[in-house]
């Protein structure tokens, strides 16, 4: 549940950078659903992928996914704050 919240920031970042288009988000989610089980294994069916290891640790739906998702969330929030901070500045050279 926490991982889903954290990874939603990556999807929000895609939409934010694409002028609110949903297509990059759909593409990103499709790629995730396709390559995560192949590379890291399926946590739902308990089948290994190309990378071997404990699924709860290495899988994008596990601990590593949570850490990467939280780092992405922190980065995205800082990016939004920076963009909003400078949005009120008036360019006097115009």
Query: Is the pLDDT at 94 greater than 70, yes or no?
Result: no
Per residue in 4-54, pLDDT tens?
A: 676 777 787 778 778 888 898 888 888 888 888 888 888 778 888 888 888
Q: Cβ(3)–Cβ(65) under 8 Å?
A: yes
Q: Cβ(63)–Cβ(40) under 8 Å?
A: no
pTM of the model: 0.59
What pLDDT was estimated at residue 85?
A: 54
Per residue in 45-54, pLDDT tens?
A: 888 888 888 8
Q: Please report, for the chain, the start and end positions of each structural domain, with discontinuous segments joined by +.
A: 2-86
Q: First-to-last CA distance in the chain? A: 48
Question: For the chain, how many residues are written?
Answer: 94
Q: Which has more confidence, 71 or 3?
A: 71
Output b/e per residue, 51-60; b: 16+ Cβ within 10 A: eeeebeebbb
């Amino acid at each position: 549940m926490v991982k889903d919240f954290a990874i939603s920031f990556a999807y929000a970042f895609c939409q934010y950078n694409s002028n609110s288009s949903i297509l990059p988000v759909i593409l990103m989610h499709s790629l995730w659903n396709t390559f995560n089980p192949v590379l890291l294994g399926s946590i739902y069916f308990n089948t290994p992928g190309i990378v071997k290891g404990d699924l709860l640790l290495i899988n994008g739906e596990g601990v590593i996914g949570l850490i990467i998702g939280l780092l992405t969330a922190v980065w995205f929030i800082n990016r939004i704050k920076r963009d909003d901070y400078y949005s009120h500045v008036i360019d006097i050279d115009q």
